[in-house]
Amino acid sequence: MKKAYMGVDIGSISTKGIIIDENSNILASEYIWTEGDPIGAVKKLIGILKGQLNRRKYKVVGVGTTGSARKLIGVMLGANIVKNEITAHAIGTLSLYPDVKTIFEIGGQDSKIIIIDNGVVVDYAMNTLCAAGTGSFLSSQSKRLGLEVEEFGEIALKSKNPTNIAARCTVFAESDLVHKAQIGYKKEDIVAGLCKAVVNNYLNNVGKGKKIKPPIVFQGGVSKNVGVIKAFEDATGEKIIVDPNSHLMGALGVALLSQKEKEIDFDFDIEDVTFETKGIECKGCANNCERICVYKDGVLIDAWGNKCDKGAIKVPAKV
């Protein structure tokens, strides 16, 4: 039986999974919507990956998790490594583009920039305060224009005169978009203007003060939008690299990291297992910590959130 390694990148908007072999070849992969239910999304993801993998030939011996719900999903899957998004994205990208110096990443509700020098992360920044430079912004504006967000890129490329959209704030951008549509701007010019606004917002906020050098790799769900790619190339004057699996880079990175950890015996059959989380406020001191308890079929398997020993919750042996 050959060894395989799985990476799961769980975000607020999308959930990504990948399984690789010992030589980093992709054996299975999937991208689905989280829909506000990370546990349910991961159960669905695991079921899909299970169907794609030749389990007569491969055995998953390593699982890594990353993303906003990485700790919760790490406990759920019995992961042998849990890593932050910066590390996961950098490792995944470097495995395919060892000379990369700048990584642009725009997801559904956040965005980040990673600066790399000689294969080492030397600087980074994240934006989680405003949605104006993210995929959710484009998605909401596409609905306002009566378009599918998947159409945005191709429509933007038809524009010869992108309109300027005030995109420092989502509310202002929406008001400006409505105004431009009402006074007669062409739809393709408004769409191109939105793509340009996302890029300007990203570079002026997330990328502010950063030394952006080529090669530049763009990833995350928004990297599939050719209108945004063109806007980045126009703004930077550089060629923007987008890998066919750009949306899976975080999952790939954490799968690679799992190869270096102690092997586990992963079981795909979690569809019928009940996982539940409970928030319990601690009254032991003035911190009033909200502790998160995770239960598997009614049995406590992990807990975190306490800032002192007074709030510690004893977890029984791993089941």
pLDDT in tens, 34-46: 888 999 999 999 9
Residues 6 and 47 in one domain: yes
Q: Which of 214, 233, 258 is the last residue of a domain?
A: 258
In the block, residue with structure tokens 């998947």: 150
Residues 123 and 237 in one domain: yes
Does residue 265 sit within a domain?
no
Range of the structural domain that residue 118 is part of: 99-242
Domains: count for the chain: 3
Is pLDDT at 68 greater than 50 in this prediction?
Answer: yes
Does residue 193 sit within a domain?
yes
The residues, any chain, with a CB within 8 Å of residue 163's CB and separated by 6 or more, are 180, 185, 189, 190, 192, 193
Distance CA(306)–CA(235), nearest Å, equals 45
Residues 53 and 117 in one domain: no
Q: What is the pLDDT of residues 16-27, one digit of tens each?
A: 999 999 999 999
pLDDT of residue 205: 84
Does residue 269 sit within a domain?
no
Residues 11 and 66 in one domain: yes
Output the pTM of the full model. Answer: 0.85
Pick the more confident residue, 170 or 85: 85
Residues 84 and 129 in one domain: no
pLDDT of residue 129: 57
Q: Is the peptide bond before 98 cis (omega within 30 degrees of 0)?
A: no
pLDDT of residue 189: 87
Does residue 59 sit within a domain?
yes
**Cβ atoms of residues 131 and 138 within 8 Å:** no
Residues 70 and 117 in one domain: no
Q: Which of 278, 258, 303, 295 is nearest to 61 (CA)?
A: 258
Per DSSP, which regions of 235-281 are E strands?
Answer: 240-241, 275-281
Does residue 266 sit within a domain?
no
Residues 237 and 187 in one domain: yes
Residues 80 and 117 in one domain: no
Residues 147 and 198 in one domain: yes
Distance of CA 218 to the CA centre of its chain: 13
Residue 106 sits in a domain of what CATH number? 3.30.420.40
Does residue 191 sit within a domain?
yes
Which of the four pLDDT bands, split at 50, 70 and 90, describes residue 319? Answer: very low
Q: Which of 72, 61, 246, 222 is nearest to 149 (CA)?
A: 222
Q: Which of 110, 95, 25 is nearest to 249 (CA)?
A: 95
**High-pLDDT (> 70) share of the chain, %:** 92
Helix, strand or coil, per DSSP, at residue 304: strand
Distance CA(7)–CA(27), nearest Å, equals 12
Mean pLDDT confidence for 225-253 = 94
Residues 220 and 290 in one domain: no
Residues 9 and 57 in one domain: yes
Which of the four pLDDT bands, split at 50, 70 and 90, describes residue 12? Answer: confident
Residues 105 and 16 in one domain: no
Does residue 136 sit within a domain?
yes
| 76-79 contact pairs (CB < 8 A, 24+) | 76/39, 76/42, 76/270, 76/275, 76/294, 76/296, 77/8, 77/42, 77/46, 77/266, 77/270, 78/264, 78/266, 78/318, 79/8, 79/258, 79/264
Does residue 195 sit within a domain?
yes
Q: Which of 242, 266, 283 is the last residue of a domain?
A: 242
Distance CA(227)–CA(250), nearest Å, equals 23
